[in-house]
Each structure stands twice: as C-alpha cells, then as structure tokens.
Structure 1
Amino acid sequence: MDMFRVAHATATDWRLAANACLAQIGNVPPEANLGFLYVTDLLATDLPNILTFFKEQTDIIHWVGSVGVGVCATSQEYNDEPALSVMIADFPPDSFRVFPAIKADIDEFAEHRVWCEKFDAHFGVVHGDPRNPKTPTFIAELAEAINDGYLVGGLSSSRGPNFQIAGGLTEGGLSGVVFSSKVPVATAHTQGCSPLGQKHQVTECQNNIAIRIDDRPALDVFNEEVGEVLARDLSRAAGYIFAGFPIKGSDTGDYVVRNLMGVDTENKLLAVGGYLNPGDTIMFCRRDINTAYEDLLRMLRDIKSRLVGRPKGGVYYSCLGRGVHMFGEDSAELRAIRQELGDIPLVGFFANGEISHNRLYGFTGVLTLFS
C-alpha cells in the first residue's frame, strides 16, 4: 500500500474535467485496485458516464464515492461548481470489500459479514442516502456487524440525484467499502459548534418536540440559554443556534448536533431535528467560527501525534455548513489540513451529515489517514 494518487478539476463539460484528472494521475500502475470518486451535484446526471470513463481508462474495477454540493482534494475546495475529485490507490490483496447499498435491512449485508469475519475487518468508508430514514440506524447496525467496528463517511448532498458509488452506481441506502486489519488507519473528527450554558434533561417530549426541559417549559429554558437578544427575535437563531446531545460514555465531551426546527411560543414548545426521549441530556450550541477553527487545528495535531511515519493518503468529509460557509473563501479548511499534515493525497466532499464511528453527526469534519 505505497501508492496513492490524487487529481481534481473543474469544467462545465465532464469530459474536460475527467481528462484533466486523468492527466494529473499519469500512468496508472497495474497494482492500483481501488478508486475514490466524488463529483459535485452539477455533474450528478453525468456520473454514469464519468464512472464508466474512469473504469475504462484506469482498468480499476472497484470504486466508491458520492455526490456533493461541494467536493475537496488536497488543499482545494470546489463549492457549487462542476468539479471532480479522484484518488486511486493500491491496497494489499484481499484487504477490502466493496458492498452495495443497504436499503431495507442490515441482513442485506450478510454475505459481506462472512468476509469481514474471515479477514478481520473493523473499519469502513461509507456513503449514505439522506432520503432513507433508516440510514442512521444502518450506520449503527453496520458498525456492530463488523465486530463493533469504526465507520467514516458522509451522506450525499445534492440538488439532483443522490448517487453513491459502490462498484457501480447505487442509491437509497448505505454503501461503501470495508477494510481488513491489513490496512492501518488513523481517524478523528472536529466539531463546528461550541456549547452554550449547561446541560439539561428532557423531562417531557413527543417525537421531536421538547415539551418540558428540567421540568420547566422547554422554550423558557432555551430562551434563558441563548440570551435576551436572540430570545426576542427567534428568527435570528436559525442557522446559528443548535441543539446538542452529549454522547453517553464519551470521555472527550463528544456530542452530536441537530438543527432547531421551530418553536411554539404560545405553548412554549421547541422542535429539534431528531427524535427525543424522556431523560435525554440536551444542551444548546452556537455556530462559532473561531472555536471551530481552533478545534480543527486541535484535531489535526492530535491525529498527527498518533501517526507512525508520513500518511500515504486520506479522505475527508466535512459538513455543508463548514467549508466556504464557515471558514470563508480560498479553501481555508483544506489548507489548514495541508498546513498541519503536509501535501498528502486527500479527497472527500461536503456532506449532508457526517459519519464517525457508529453515528451520524452534523457540522463536523471527519478525517481518516491511511498509513
């Protein structure tokens, strides 16, 4: 596993972008056996032709990837423009297995589970369809199915087709590639929000609506935490304030972030982007650019400290709300990765939800390095 090559390009005609990527890759070694391919949604309808092109031109059969409103490569982000991001690699024989979308039941993964047990697979790169309400459940079940393994990836983000790539084109569920223990990896994620105030307990709820928090009207607790200015004009909180749910057993203060979906000022109710249960711990978070950048650097320095030697390549999955929308123009998020880790081959996309370990996150960046 010594060869990783990355390429990226933008062009309104997919053929021009694909040929530019092929030129950057150069001669494809015969041992190259897995490709990662990410395209922006402005080229989503061309993805069948794009995938066929790379299979024919590289002789690589196995490909994984997804569609995103934005894609990224080493130090470069492409947002809301027609672009491709490609990486090819050679992995040891029998060290990975590509699987198509799990759409209805985890039993659809049964034949691949046998391979995972035989080759000691505990890690996977996966892509999900945000339209399938079972996708978060599949993430947890798949991680358990590969011996309590670790997953990274993201949900497709698209204003058109929500294609994923897993050998061929697929959609409607969770797909990707699992790796055996022959493939060493290091992975970490960074948060894009910072907590406000203290932790609270949901004491009464219905589906995704918090009725009472700390045995008080939910909206009263929320208003106290976000402050008088935002409480007077709740529309200003949209896209800035979120609900956070600490992960039980985490020794790093980890939490998942969900959108605030609405309020009922008359009945003092608060709706969030996820189902609630009585007894859930909830806190409120704000979208904080400075804190997010500091946490990005913390994550990068942490993963660097765990590496043995220079990484050969990597994949990065960031939230649609990050990138240009949080850190500004000039590919600041991807340039920070290069600044801390060097000019390593790296590809990924801006997702509609990020996957790390066994759950779905929001407003995070998930980095995995192959060593």
Structure 2
Amino acid sequence: MSGAPADFIAAQATGETWQQAIGRLLPVLQKASPEHRLGLIYLTPEFASELPDIEVLLRQSTGVPHWAGTVSFGTIGVARDGALEECYGSPAISVLLCPFPEEAFRIFSGARGESDRISETHSDWLSQAGPPMILAHGDTANGLLGSIIDDIVEETDGFMIGGLSAAQGPGSQIADGADGQGLSGVLLSLAQLPVQTALSQGCSPIGPVHTVTAGEENVIFELNGRKALDVFKEDIGEILARDLNRCAGYIFAALPVAGSDSGDYTVRNLMAIDPRHGAIAIAASVRPGDGVMFCRRDPASAADDMRRMLSDIKRRLGDRPIRGGLYVSCAARGPNQFSDPARETQLIEEALGRFPLTGFFANGEFSRDRLYSYTGVLTLFI
C-alpha cells in the first residue's frame, strides 16, 4: 500500500544579500523528498541578476530537479512562524516545493514569437494529460505577448494563471534554466493535479455597461449615441465631474468579458480626457459595439471583493483540504492600495487558514485567457 502524498513545502525570507536570504530558506527547503519534483521561485529585483545562480544552488541543495519562476515587484509566502506574509519594498525570495510526479507537468520556455508552438513540443504529453493549467510568466518588453498567450491557450485548450515579470530580457525568468523575452512556465495536468482558482477585482463598477457608438483605436467619442464625456460625468457624480483631475488613480475604464457568467471585466487606465470634443482615451483599443463601464478603485471595495472571492472558493472546496497554493497580485495592490501592507494575506489566512503558499506581485495578472490589471488571482492545489 502506498503512503500518503508528501506535503508541499513553502518558505520565504528577506536578506541584505541573496546568500543571506537563501541561508534562511534552506533549513526548511532541505526537508524536500524525492517526491518533490517541481520548485517555484519568486524574488525581488534586488536579486534579479543572480536568479540563474540561485536556481542552480536551490536545485543542488534540495535535490528538486525542475524550477520555474520570475523576478517580481514583491513576494508572497510563508514566514518562519507559518503565517502567510507579503514582502514588498524589501529584498525577498519566496519558494514553494511541489510534490508533483514527473508525468503531471512539463516545463516550457522560449515562447517569444507568433511562430512558437508549445503544443508541438509537448504534443505527446498533452495527448495524455488533457487540457492543462498553464502557470506562465511574461516579459513586458515582448510586443507579441498578447498573441503568444492567445496561441498557447487556444492550442492547448488550457487555463492560464501567472503574470508579468518585474524585469525584462534574458534571465528575468527561470524555466529549468534562465529564460526571458517572452513567455515561460509550467504546464500542469488538471487530470492529476486538481485545483480551484478564483479572481478578485481591485475596483468596483459605478455605473451600467455602455455601448461604444463612436470610437477609434483607444479613443471613445460616443457612448450610447451621446458624447462619451457627458456619460462619464453622469457615472462619476457631480463632485468629481466639477474637477476631473481628481479622477486620476481613482476612476478607471472597465471592459466586460464576453461570455462571462460572473460579470467579469478587465480594468484599464484612463489616459486622457478631451473636454473640447467630449472624448475619453483609455489604455485599450475599442470599436463601435464594444461595451465599456467605469469603476472606482479604493481599499474598501478591493477588500470586500476579496472576501467575496475567498468565500466563493471556500464554498467550492467543501471539505477537501488545501495542499498548497499560488497567489498572484497586482503590483498596484498590496501596500499601494491597502493601509495594512499585509492585508491580502491576512484576508486569505482568515478565510482559509494557514497552508503552504507562494506568489508574487505582478505587472499584470493572467486568468484563463486574459491579461488583467488590479486583480488578485488565487490558485489552490487540493
């Protein structure tokens, strides 16, 4: 009779040097067994240039053969006392060792252009594993990243999680060796590694969905047949409408996700307001017929939506225990949104308790087949 599966192992540490941080991690990570075949690593920009060397040291010190991860604005993980914590603004490294059998995952790397075909490289594995969960890390300097994401999700029929790196170029990602300049990560077999995942928005809608009736590229001229700015002012209210400068960093555009059964939307920045022509520019291309609404970003709304997300995922878990998890949060959240610098991990721990967790603050977050902003994406292995 086979024994119970090994536990996930998580550790996070800060340090003035990467050697100091690794020294604090190793007493925990060296508990790894032969069942731990995959390690995830996230570290802050202070240690970015050493990421390839850190991977080699971790592989040699733990015996874990496969590694994936990236440079991030901050890390999320488990403190020495077992509490979930966030490290933002100080040099840090977060690691999660996963007891996954070799046949349950595949590392992928080098996806840098539209001609890249992950499904061809791993066709035999995909035919056996079925549609995967795709944990991906992306380089923001690659202008083709959107089409690469579309290609990989479409070809594998997968569900993508992860996010954009805080660094660019070669060595900003790890995928069994240094990678970067595109997309890399891990294909996970959902047939062998059951998960639950959920997304929390950092904004809340302040009005209904409007229809773009005149627009070009990223400029909206009309909504519902009226000047876009007139509709915008009605939604934001009289006080903000009198001083539109106060909208900066507080009011955003939101694009409803087609086919979503949960009212999902992607948030994009307001780029400019043209009072003369009554037009609004946003950080996304639009065309007539598209839906657009406006939303506000504030700590209370974000915390409320995170509680909603955690309540929903707890309901879906039922009595199944959490083995390990990954949390990817927007770099604009964390201490940049909440007065408490560890508010998100506090909410996770309050709802779900303590469990092995890693994660990072990203330059944009992946969920399913889309790139989001201002969101938190939680994935639990059960």
- Which TM-score bucket, shorter chain as reference? over 0.9
SS in 2 for 1:12: coil
User: How far is 1:158 from its partner?
Assistant: 4.1
1:197 is paired with a residue of what secondary structure?
coil
Compared CA separation, residues 229 and 357, structure 1 to 2 (3 A): same
> Is the aligned partner of 1:68 residue 2:69?
no
Other-structure match for 2:96: 87
- Superposed, 1:99-138 pairs within 5 Å as 99-105=108-114, 107-109=116-118, 110-138=120-148
CA distance in 2 between partners of 1:161 and 1:145 (Å): 25
Q: CA deviation at 1:330?
A: 4.4
> Structure 1 unaligned runs (5+)?
none
1: CA distance between counterparts of 2:250 and 2:115?
36
Cα distance in 2 for residues equivalent to 1:93 and 1:82? 32
1:324 aligns to what? 335
Alpha-carbon spacing, 1:185–1:106, altered in 2? closer, same or farther (3 Å): farther
Asked if structure 1 preserves the Cα contact closer than 8 Å seen for 2:197 and 2:380, the reply is yes
The two structures have a TM-score, normalised by structure 2, of 0.92
State the 4+ residue runs in structure 1 displaced beyond 6 angstroms.
159-162
Q: In 1, are the aligned partners of 2:139 and 2:168 still within 8 Å (CA)?
A: no
In structure 1, the residue matched to 2:278 is 268
Count, aligned residues: 370
Task: Classify the secondary structure of the residue corresponding to 1:88.
Answer: strand
Conserved 8 A contact 2:211-2:291: yes
Q: Could you tell me how far 1:317 is from its partner in structure 2?
A: 0.3
Q: Percent identity?
A: 43
Q: How does 1:275-294 map to 2 (within 5 A)?
A: 275-294=285-304
CA distance in 2, matches of 1:80, 1:108: 37
What is the identity, as a one-letter code, of the residue corresponding to 2:8? F
Cα deviation for residue 349 of structure 1 reads: 0.5
TM-score, structure 1 length as denominator?
0.95
Secondary structure at 2:209's aligned position in 1?
Answer: strand
Residue 39 of structure 2 aligns to a residue whose secondary structure is strand
AA in 2 matched with 1:339: E
| 1:27 partnered with 2:31 | yes
Q: Name the counterpart of 2:81.
A: none
Counterpart amino acid of residue 321 in structure 1: A
Shift of 1:249: 1.6
Shift of 1:248: 1.5
Deviation per CA, 1:53-89, whole angstroms, max 9, x where unpaired? Answer: 1122122221111111111113111112110001111
Q: 1:136-285 to 2 correspondence within 5 Å?
A: 136-147=146-157, 149-158=158-167, 163-180=172-189, 181-285=191-295
The CA deviation at 1:44 is 1.1
User: Which amino acid counterpart does residue 24 of structure 2 have in structure 1?
Assistant: A
Cα deviation code 1:261-292 (max 9, x no counterpart): 11222222211111112110000000032122
Q: How many angstroms does 1:159 deviate by?
A: 8.8
Q: Which runs of 5+ in 2 are unaligned?
A: 79-83
Which of 361, 364, 371 does residue 372 from structure 2 map onto?
361
The one-letter amino acid paired with 1:274 is A
Contact 2:30 2:61 in 1 (8 A): no
Equivalent residue, structure 1, for 2:57 = 53
Deviations 1:106-156 (A, max 9, x none): 533121244212322421111111222322232232222112x21111111
